[in-house]
Structure 1
Amino acid sequence: MKFTHRFAYYLVGLVIGCFFVGLVFSGKDTRCNYFPNARVLNDLRNKPFHYSDEASKVLAEKWIDTSDIKNTLQFGDIDFDKSNTEYKKGKLYVIEGKTLKNQKVLLKVINYPGKAVLESIEKKQAD
């Protein structure tokens, strides 16, 4: 068999394979969250998110807003030494992040089976 024929068969198989891979993964919200930090943050973002009274008071102070909270839930780092403990019939997670003005913050979020509640917001002192 000539090289051009083999190459043509290869291309036909490649196109068919790419078509099936595209068909399988299209329309799905596929994520590859292999690390614990990414899995927990993804779980917290996908649940209905509520604010406690204490967190609402801090948000009213205007040094932090909900976009900073969402940004921290997207790119923050979870302190697992202080997290994953039973707290008020849920699990407490301590998340370190930054506001858009580069102010370091510490969020305490309670992860319940059906919702996530932002328990408190604290300014973190510069190291």
Structure 2
Amino acid sequence: MAFIKRLGFFLVGLSIGIVFLTFFFKKKTEETGTEFCYFPNCRVLKDLRSKPIFYSEDINALLASNKLDTLDINTFFRNGDIDFGKSNAKTVPCRTYVIEGSIKQKKAILEVKNCPSKVIVERVTDL
């Protein structure tokens, strides 16, 4: 059998397998809500989303004055980028993370303490 013919059979089988896996994993993630988080940014944000969130006095004042909303904070936990250079992930018991994101189309930075059983939102600063 010629090499071109074998390559053709291989590519047809590979494409059928990729289509099958795409539909299988898409259905699985929609039903169970699973995520494939392999990068450090995604893993830390997923860990932050899985714990109850508490707010510092500064954040509670911003929430009370309607300058900040809990949905804005949740967007940080979904779409934010963690600056590992400014974060301190080695402190015990609560690790401190600096998350960059946007609030109402303005860039902002959220500082969060990740404790074993809860997440404490410390402060929000605008850029």
**Same fold? TM cut 0.5:** yes
The percent of aligned pairs where both chains have the same amino acid is: 40
How many pairs align?
A: 105
- Alignment of structure 1 residues 10-89 onto 2, 5 Å: 25=28, 28-87=32-91, 89=93
Q: For the residues of structure 2 that align with 1:118 and 1:47, how far apart are their CA atoms? A: 12
Any unmatched runs of 5+ in structure 2?
1-16
Give the 3-state SS of the residue equivalent to 2:86 in structure 1: coil
Q: For the residues of structure 1 that align with 2:97 and 2:114, how far apart are their CA atoms? A: 7
Any unmatched runs of 5+ in structure 1?
1-13
Q: For the residues of structure 2 that align with 1:113 and 1:53, how far apart are their CA atoms? A: 21
Runs of 4+ in structure 1 deviating by more than 4 angstroms, as ranges, are: none
Greater Rg over alpha carbons, structure:
1
Given that 1:87 and 1:110 are in contact with CA atoms closer than 8 Å, whether structure 2 keeps it comes out as no
Q: Which has the higher helix share?
A: 2
Pick closer, same or farther for the CA change 1:88–1:51 going to 2, 3 Å: farther
TM-score when normalising by structure 2: 0.70
Q: CA RMSD in A?
A: 2.4
Q: For the residues of structure 2 that align with 1:35 and 1:118, how far apart are their CA atoms? A: 23
